[in-house]
Amino acid sequence: MTDAHTRNVERQIEWYGEPLGDRFGRLLARLGLSQAQLAGVLGLSAPMLSQLMSGHRSKISSPAVLSRLLHLEAMVGDATWDELPPDEQSRRLADVRAAERSTLTMVTPEAPPARPQQAGDPVTVIQDVLRAVASAAELEAAAHLLERDHPDLAEALRVFGTGRTPDARAYYSRLVR
């Protein structure tokens, strides 16, 4: 990997918690889509998706695309996704494609703006909220400020805000036992 690629992947980890190639790769495997099809659902060009996956680019520049990605991850991460008939899964993917989104709300032709989307995975919801309001560096700085007086809160902020999703899931499981 070149220095530029390494830097881009490091930025992706800082901004999104992990390399985008890993995130997109999980969606591709879970949904059985081609890169071009996933790009269409997200509202990206296929070359842009490829550049993000490979580390040739570091940032998802469109808030709408990022919001679609977050929603899609939550949607297919829900255990009920596998129980849906294929035509319903296709309809829901089309809804994601058609949605105009912010990081907190979804607007579709059938659903006017109302309240934040409910997601099936509380860990990714917590991560998404934290990462929508602050960078990894800001979350780490906030955790550092809390460390002395509120060490448990500082740890939660670090794990959910800047940690990897599998570590956050393990941490969450320990908390709710």
Which band of pLDDT confidence, cut at 50, 70 and 90, is reported for residue 101?
A: low
pTM of the model: 0.58
How far is Cα 160 from Cα 158, in angstroms, rounded to an integer? Answer: 6
* 24-36: pLDDT as tens digits: 999 999 999 999 9
| CB distance 46 to 13 below 8 Å | no
Q: Is 34 helix (H, G, I), strand (E, B) or coil?
A: coil
Q: What percent of the chain has pLDDT over 70?
A: 88
Q: Which residues contact 164 (CB under 8 A, 6 or more apart)?
A: 17, 18
Give the number of other CB atoms < 10 A from CB of residue 155.
15
In 3D space, the residue among 64, 93, 63 whose CA is nearest the CA of residue 76 turns out to be: 93
* 105-130: pLDDT as tens digits: 444 444 433 334 444 678 888 888 88
User: Where along the chain do the CATH 1.10.260 domains lie?
Assistant: 1-101
CATH label, 1-101, candidates 1.10.3430, 1.10.260, 3.30.1220, 3.40.50: 1.10.260
